[in-house]
């Protein structure tokens, strides 16, 4: 035993990371898609359990989503996520409070 030597720490997700396989759709180059005009994208406020269920069903039906999180930490050590915006190619934003 060597005093002061540190044993190499194994990453807790090493097995998962080493066996990770990406779907072909994520690694195959594709043609860029132009965004849909704002006037053609419905904006939905998700503020009820029913609206959240509808948003989940909408997201389950598409291959790509975009997520933007807003974080609030004023007068808070840990802070918290106060707004989540989720978009698909056909629905612009789903602000979720």
Give me the helices (H) in the chain, please: 14-18, 24-27, 49-60
Q: For the whole model, what pTM was predicted?
A: 0.59
Query: What is the distance of C-alpha 69 from the center of its chain?
Result: 9
Whether the pLDDT of residue 5 is over 70: the answer is no
- Return the domain boundaries, the chain: 35-97
For the segment 42-68, what is each residue's pLDDT rounded down to a tens digit? 788 888 899 889 889 988 998 888 888
């Amino acid at each position: 035993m060597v005093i002061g030597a540190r044993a190499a720490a194994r990453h807790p997700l090493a097995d998962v990371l080493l066996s990770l396989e990406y779907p072909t759709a994520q690694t195959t180059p594709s043609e860029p898609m132009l965004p849909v005009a704002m006037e053609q994208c419905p904006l939905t406020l998700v503020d009820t359990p029913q609206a959240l269920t509808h948003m989940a069903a909408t997201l389950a039906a598409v291959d790509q989503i975009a997520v933007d999180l807003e974080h609030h930490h004023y007068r808070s050590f840990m802070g918290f996520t106060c707004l989540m915006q989720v978009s698909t190619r056909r629905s612009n934003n789903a602000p979720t409070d």
